[in-house]
Amino acid sequence: MDTDAELSDSWWERVKYYAQLVVERVECGVNAVKELLSTLTKDERLGVILEFEDVDPQKFAQLVSDAPQWTEWMG
C-alpha cells in the first residue's frame, strides 16, 4: 500500500474542495475569501489558489483586481 500516494490524493481532493469554496466566496467579497484561506495551511492555500486560477480564471482575475495584495495572504 502506497501511503504517500493516498495522502497526496487526499490532500489534492481537499484543495479542490476549498478552491470551489473560494470560487463561491468571491461573490461575497474579498474578506470572505481571506477568511477562508486563513483557516488553511500555507501549502493548502497555495494549492487552492493554483486550482482556483485553473477552475475559474475570470473570478480569479476579479479577486486579483479587487485585492491586489492577495499574495500577502499566502505567507
What residue ranges do the domains of the chain occupy?
A: 11-74
All cell numbers assigned to 10: 487526499
Measured in residues, the chain has a length of: 75
Put simply, whether the predicted model's pTM sits higher than 0.85 gets the answer no
d(CA 60, CA 53): 5
What is the distance of C-alpha 47 from the center of its chain? 6
Q: For residue 32, give the 3-state DSSP assignment.
A: helix
pLDDT (0 to 100) of residue 1? 44
Per residue in 44-71, pLDDT (tens digit) is: 999 999 999 999 999 999 999 999 998 8
Q: For a pLDDT cut of 90, what percent of the chain falls above it?
A: 76
C-beta of residue 38 within 8 angstroms of C-beta of residue 10: no
